[in-house]
Amino acid sequence: MALRRREFVQTAVAGAALGAAGTVTAQEEPDYGGWFDDVSNYDGTVDKRGQDTVEIAVGAQGNNGAFAFAPPAVMVSPGTEVVWTWTGEGGGHNVVSDGDGPLDSGELVSEQGATYSYTFESEGMFKYVCEPHVGLGMKGAVVVRPGGGSSGGGTAQQGPPANPDYGGWFDDVSNYDGETLDRTGQDSVEIAVGAQGNNGAFAFDPPAVRVSPGTEVVFTWTGEGGGHNVVSDGDGPLDSGDPVAEAGTTYSYTFEETGIYKYVCEPHLSLGMKGAVVVGGPPGGSGGGGGGTQRLPVSGPRWLLTGSVLFAFFTPLLYAAAMRHRESTRPPQDLVGEDGTVPVEEATAADPAVELGHEEFDPTGTAALVAFYFVLIALLWVFMYFVEFLGRVSVIG
């Protein structure tokens, strides 16, 4: 369903951004028609769909020297900017479409760090070469194709493992019991700041929580234990600013990328006021064998489940009521015929009070109603056009 699809795209984007993009599956592997036969570093198409920009090295190792593009074959989403970056090795290179195509970086360039970029809007396969070294096999291709999914339920959904290794982070946190609370699949998750723990109100609760990518995590201050703040450990996105003591204060952050985010309360770090947010579900398969299968989606709406249970509960009662009613309307025994059935008869047709034939009947009332209807629709038309439509600001006005 579309919701899952959206979540899925989020995870796919997140996964790709972490650099976890895999190669496309065999079914999806484009047919290059022998284009890569003489390219030594070609090893399948790298799936980089879902990323805004994709980088390709010009003058990478390959083809018996620094005469390769890396990766040589890449798959991107429509609208992606592809940036070619020169390594500075292998002499002067350029990037030019094979045949009629949009790519042309112009003159040969050999400086390290030079770039050429092109944004691919339309779907298709774009082959390109380095003109001086095409004979050596310095060729590449960009395949623009929407989606980015079937390849890898496994890769894209991959987050930190089921029991993440926090590296001793929680050793001195008293309210961490070794469990990472699973809150995946929720839009927003709350964490209390200043909960009981670490010999006072110096804890986050829950200290460790797992959420889905795209989840908004809301830190809510309990107002106990003095001033607290929420700041990432080392280089991280969280920073609630100066310590605050008021109850009800909130700070929220939406985690888009998978990973483990450790954070602390600066004033009480030494007391053990530390926490972590794990973003992304654990990889599929219990042994972490890589080939993760997509979770079987059984998340039907709750009302359906509740309704079914209620319905199942009330069905016997309804049935009993129906049978009771049926019993009470049993026809009298004297009507039942020999074969056990009761004869059915229709109501008698009532005779009209006045018999009106073809000649005597003039439908004057119908004429009156028809006239009334035409007046009514004329008024409705006036209302629709002059009041409801012309009454508001029109484009011409």
Binding residues for Cu cation: 228, 265, 268, 273
Q: How far is the CB of 314 from another protein (least distance, A)?
A: 14
- Residues 102 and 153: their CA atoms lie apart, in Å, by 33
Segment lying near another protein (by CB under 8 A), choices 37-45, 224-232, 268-276, 382-390? 382-390
- Residues 171 and 183: their CA atoms lie apart, in Å, by 23
- Residues 265 and 194: their CA atoms lie apart, in Å, by 9
- Determine the Cα angle at 337 with ends 335 and 340, to 5°: 110
Q: How far is the CB of 285 from another protein (least distance, A)?
A: 18
Q: Is position 395 an interface residue for another protein (rule: CB under 8 A)?
A: no
Q: Is position 99 an interface residue for another protein (rule: CB under 8 A)?
A: no
Q: Is position 322 an interface residue for another protein (rule: CB under 8 A)?
A: yes
Q: How far is the CB of 18 from another protein (least distance, A)?
A: 23
Q: Is position 375 an interface residue for another protein (rule: CB under 8 A)?
A: no
- Residues 6 and 12: their CA atoms lie apart, in Å, by 10
Nearer to another protein, 286 or 329 (CB): 329
Nearer to another protein, 189 or 264 (CB): 189
Query: Could you tell me if 195 and 230 are in contact, meaning their C-beta atoms sit under 8 angstroms apart?
Result: no
Segment lying near another protein (by CB under 8 A), choices 11-19, 93-101, 261-269, 370-378? 370-378
Q: Is position 298 an interface residue for another protein (rule: CB under 8 A)?
A: yes
Given candidates 235, 242, 338, 345, which one binds another protein under the rule CB under 8 A?
345
Q: Is position 291 an interface residue for another protein (rule: CB under 8 A)?
A: no
Q: Is position 324 an interface residue for another protein (rule: CB under 8 A)?
A: no
Which residues sit opposite 32 in a β-bridge?
Answer: none
Question: Around 216, how many Cα atoms within 13 Å sit in the side-chain half-sphere?
Answer: 7
Q: Is position 326 an interface residue for another protein (rule: CB under 8 A)?
A: yes
In one-letter notation, the amino acid at residue 146 is: P
Given candidates 99, 301, 316, 397, which one binds another protein under the rule CB under 8 A?
301
- Determine the Cα angle at 2 with ends 307 and 208, to 5°: 80
One character per residue 138-157, x = contact with another protein (rule: CB under 8 A)? --------xx----------
Given candidates 33, 99, 178, 297, which one binds another protein under the rule CB under 8 A?
297
Radius of gyration over alpha carbons of the chain, in Å?
36
- Residues 359 and 84: their CA atoms lie apart, in Å, by 93
Given candidates 26, 312, 353, 395, which one binds another protein under the rule CB under 8 A?
353
Nearer to another protein, 287 or 304 (CB): 304
Indicate the annotated binding residues.
228, 265, 268, 273
Q: How far is the CB of 4 from another protein (least distance, A)?
A: 7
- Residues 151 and 141: their CA atoms lie apart, in Å, by 19
Q: How far is the CB of 349 from another protein (least distance, A)?
A: 4
Given candidates 99, 241, 392, 395, which one binds another protein under the rule CB under 8 A?
392
Segment lying near another protein (by CB under 8 A), choices 70-78, 113-121, 220-228, 364-372? 364-372
Which residues sit opposite 120 in a β-bridge?
Answer: 80
Q: Is position 334 an interface residue for another protein (rule: CB under 8 A)?
A: no
Q: Is position 26 an interface residue for another protein (rule: CB under 8 A)?
A: no
Q: Is the peptide bond before 282 cis (omega within 30 degrees of 0)?
A: no
Q: Which two tokens stand for residue 175?
A: 């309210």
> For the chain, first and last CA: distance in Å?
43
- Residues 265 and 205: their CA atoms lie apart, in Å, by 13
Determine how β-strand 215-221 pairs with β-strand 250-255. antiparallel
- Residues 115 and 266: their CA atoms lie apart, in Å, by 42
Nearer to another protein, 287 or 340 (CB): 340
In one-letter notation, the amino acid at residue 82 is: V
Contacts from 293-302 at CB under 8 Å and sequence distance 24+? 293/153, 293/154, 294/153, 294/157, 295/157, 297/1, 297/4, 299/185
Given candidates 4, 121, 247, 382, which one binds another protein under the rule CB under 8 A?
4
Nearest-CA neighbor of 120 among 89, 142, 141, 137?
142
Q: Is position 289 an interface residue for another protein (rule: CB under 8 A)?
A: no
Q: Which residues bind to another protein, rule: CB under 8 A?
A: 1-6, 146-147, 296-301, 303-304, 322, 325-326, 329-331, 335-336, 341-350, 352-358, 361, 363-366, 368-370, 373, 377, 380-381, 383-385, 387-389, 391-392
